[in-house]
Amino acid sequence: DVKVTQSSRYLVKRTGEKVFLECVQDMDHENMFWYRQDPGLGLRLIYFSYDVKMKEKGDIPEGYSVSREKKERFSLILESASTNQTSMYLCATFLTGLHYGYTFGSGTRLTVV
C-alpha cells in the first residue's frame, strides 16, 4: 500500500510564527497536494506540485507557500500563522493504475493561538 505520512498529527502554534507542515510519500509519484478541511466548507486546495521544484496555486493560496526539493517530500509553509489558519490540513498524492485516485495522509490538526 502507498503511504502518505504527515509528520505531526496535532500542532499548536502562536500567531505570527512560521509553521512548516511536512508530507512524505513512499512511492515515486509526481503529483502531491495540500488541502485544508473545515466544517461546512469541505476540502479546499491550497497548493499542488506536479514535479520537483514545480508548484501551482490552488483555490486558497493566500498566506501559504510550498516547497518541493525532493520528489517524495512536499512541505506546506505558513509564513506568519494567523488564527484563521486554524484547520485540519491534509496532504495527498494522486495515483494512477490499480489504486486510481487520491491517497490522503492522516492529517495535521493545526491550532493557531
**What does the block give as the cell for 37?**
478541511
Residue nearer to other proteins on the CB measure, 14 or 39: 39
How many whole angstroms separate alpha carbon 49 and alpha carbon 31? Answer: 6
**What does the block give as the cell for 60?**
486558497
Residue nearer to other proteins on the CB measure, 65 or 103: 103
Pick from 107, 108, 110, 112 the residue near other proteins by CB under 8 A.
Answer: 107
Q: Does 60 bind other proteins (CB under 8 A)?
A: no
How many whole angstroms separate alpha carbon 113 and alpha carbon 99? Answer: 39
Pick from 41, 52, 54, 113 the residue near other proteins by CB under 8 A.
Answer: 41
